Structure 1
Amino acid sequence: MDWLHSLIDYGVLGLLLLLSVIALAVALERFLVYRTTRVDEYQDRRALELHLTHKLHLIATIGANAPYIGLLGTVLGIMLTFHDIGAAGFDTTKIMTGLALALKATALGLLVAIPAVTLYNLLLRRCKVLLIQWDIRHG
């Protein structure tokens, strides 16, 4: 049964770490794109908006779903802890250790979600500023 604990721990935590790397990479790429974007080069506002919002949905999706992935890891960890209690008897040390390890998935989910949502909002703001600059120049 230890292999199942490891699978859940490494699977959920690994997925959350992967999602955090993806969110940071996309955010960095978007910041660099915004830095080099010249709104004067676009004649159509919709083309500029498509260019600016490309991949933003990935950061928003990661920010919205990371807490749920963490919660899933916590629920699975607690279920395994209860299974271990039923199979081996009541050992408070094992119970507390199992519950503490299960809760780390929720904590990591929040640690991934909070920066992702913050980055998304910062990027969305920068996108809106560039679109307003286009409106001023072409309006």
Structure 2
Amino acid sequence: AEKVIGSIKFPNLLYKPIRSVYYTLKGNLAMMKQDFEGAEKHMKKGLSLGMPMKEAEGASLLQMGLLSMQKNDLKQAESYIRNAIRAGLPDKENEATAYLQMCSLMMNKREFRAAKDFFRKAKALKPTTPQIVDQIKQIEKYITRMPG
């Protein structure tokens, strides 16, 4: 994929939906290399062009939210993840991830009732990915002791 993306010399000549996907892929590749600045730049460019499919937009917004969380910009992360949930996500695994991230953001803000609500929504989706299942089990230990 990197080879194909690298072979495109003039991305501005691509049709708008294809250009949007090009920048999103470039952002994903940068994220794999742990280049968060480059990833954010490309993802924003891809989002600003508009996505060809609504689910892809939700997934990109979720990724931007996770990027913001890694950079410790929690306010921006919350806004991206909320927008991702509104835009709609492609599958229940992504949706569960979004709800779990919102749950952890709410716990950091000490808004326990909202955290429990997001946790219930994530658990109701019954995700099957091992990492998400593990995260749910870990949060479950703490959430029972929370007030609210």
TM-score normalised to structure 1 length: 0.31
Higher Rg of the two aligned structures: 1
TM-score normalised to structure 2 length: 0.29
Structure with greater helix percent: 1
Structure number with greater CO (CA < 8 Å, separation at least 6) is 1
